[in-house]
Every structure is written in C-alpha cells, then in structure tokens.
Amino acid sequence: RKEVEQDPGPFNVPEGATVAFNCTYSNSASQSFFWYRQDCRKEPKLLMSVYSSGNEDGRFTAQLNRASQYISLLIRDSKLSDSATYLCVARKGGGNKLTFGTGTQLKVEL
Amino acid sequence: NAGVTQTPKFQVLKTGQSMTLQCAQDMNHEYMSWYRQDPGMGLRLIHYSVGAGITDQGEVPNGYNVSRSTTEDFPLRLLSAAPSQTSVYFCASRTGSGTGGEKLFFGSGTQLSVL
C-alpha cells in the first residue's frame, strides 16, 4: 500500500462547480500535510498547508481528519485556471522527507 | 529573483554515459533535495542535504551521487545511466525551519531520456 494515496481522476467539472478531493495516508506518524498544485509539464507549487483545525484560503479549504487518516481539499466556484494536478503531501514529525501522492487531475470546463 | 535554477531542461543519454544535473538556489536555503517524477509513482526523493557538507539518501538513491560544497549548489550525478533512470527530475529547496520552513521551492525540471 502506498503511504499517500489519491484518486488520479480526472475530475471533469463545469466552471463554477464545487469539487472535493480526498487523500489518505497510511503512516500514523505523519504530522504535517500539504497540498501542492502542478500544472502540465511544470514544477509543483505549494497551494496550502493543512492544519488540524482546518484552514481556508479564498476559494480553497483544506481539512485534516487524523482519526480516519485523510485530508481533503475543497475548491469552490471552480475557474478554468484551476485545471491542474493536485498533489497531496505528508511529512513525518520534523523529518526532512516529504511523501508525495501521485496526484489528482482536475479539468474545469466551460 | 531567480529562485531555484535547474539545468539542463532536456537531456538524452545513452546507456552507460554519465552526466551531472545542476541545481542552484539564491534564497540562502539550508535544505536542498532532488526528486524524480514518474507516471503513476508520484515524486520520489533521491537525495537531500540540510546544509553545506551534509547529504543523506532519500527513497531511491541507487545510481545517483550528490555533494553540497556550497549553500547555493546541489548537483546530481548519474554515474552510469540506465533506461530505468528515464524520468523528470526536480530540484527543490526550503528554509531549515520556522516560518516558511514548510514550503518547497522547485526548479523547472529536467526531462531525461536514457536510450
């Protein structure tokens, strides 16, 4: 079993829709979590960190459920420019190694 | 502000050849790392460094060497290229800790093909 698992998608949604991605992690020692965004043939970029209390940044909301070992990303009012692959990332304690999921592809359509 | 600069962008090698992928950052980051990205596998850590003179292995270190003689540079060496090393390689850096310490800055990637 992969340490961080994501549904690869693609999720095809109309512009303006709300879409949610889940990501599960298997290592209970994982302490920190992040969502990165990767555009086609580009480098990943940090979208947001995920805090235990949940956090929101504009149209994006991230939540962490430690009991069930999953994190989620909710995107409201989807834009065409949101089309990308979203990578779920976990880090153990203060360690230096990040574990990346394989990514969920989102396609926002007119 | 250049950030993380990675060269070359594309490279084709023959099996058995050696080469070095260059990575430089101008943000005075303590932590630097190399990842490879393969379809269906996600980004996997090859080697990383927490400061000049300090390197450590990641998840998939075999066939690769690194050194960190300065804070700015972290080259990745392929000793004897194999087709299994065909991949997209990313260099990334971040501050050691504290505010902003969680954010990885990636280079633009190197598409490597080994024939």
Residues in contact with B98: Cβ distance below 8 Å, sequence separation at least 6, in sequence order: none
Q: Which of B106, B110, B111 to mutate to test the interface with A (most CBs of A within 10 A)?
A: B106
CB A106, CB A18: distance < 8 Å: no
- Rounded distance between C-alpha atoms, residue A46 and residue B100, angstroms: 11
**Cα distances (Å, whole numbers) of residue A104 to A12, A35, A37, A73:** 11, 11, 10, 11
* Minimal Cβ distance to B106: which of A2, A44, A97: A44
CA distance B26 to B110: 19
A32: contact with B, CB 8 A cutoff = yes
Q: Name chain B contacts of A96, Cβ cutoff 8 Å.
A: 31, 33, 48, 50, 56
Hunting for tokens 């989620």 — which residue is that?
A72
Mean pLDDT of A40-59: 91
- Asked if the Cβ–Cβ distance from A42 to B109 is below 8 Å, we say yes
Nearest to A43 among B50, B58, B109 (CB): B109
Model pLDDT, residue A54: 85
A94 touches B at CB < 8 Å: yes
Cα B82 to chain centroid distance, Å, stands at 17
Token pair for residue A31?
Answer: 């302490």
What gap in Å lies between CA B52 and CA A35, rounded to an integer?
A: 29
B22: Cβ contacts below 8 Å, ≥ 6 apart: B5, B6, B7, B8, B73, B75
Better pLDDT: B95 or A63: A63
- Provide the pLDDT for residue B96: 64
**Any B CB within 8 A of A11 CB:** no
DSSP characters for A9-51? Answer: --EEEETT--EEEEEEE--TTEEEEEEEEE-TTS-EEEEEEE-
pLDDT at A97: 81
Q: Mean pLDDT per segment of 10 residues, for chain B of length 115 residues?
A: 92 97 95 93 93 94 97 96 97 73 88 97
CB proximity A97 to B under 8 Å: yes
* Beta pairing partners, A55: A62
How many angstroms separate the CA atoms of B58 and A98, rounded?
A: 10
SS3 assignment, position A70: strand
Q: Which two tokens stand for residue B32?
A: 């630097």
Residue A93 has pLDDT above 90, yes or no: no
Mean pLDDT of A94-108: 88
Are B47 and B113 in contact by the 8 Å Cβ rule? The answer is no
CB contact under 8 A, A97 and B104: no
Task: Tell me if B42 and A49 make a contact (CB, 8 A cut-off).
Answer: no
The stretch A42-58 carries a mean pLDDT of 91
* Nearest-Cα residue of chain B relative to residue A48: B103
* pLDDT for the residue numbered B1: 67
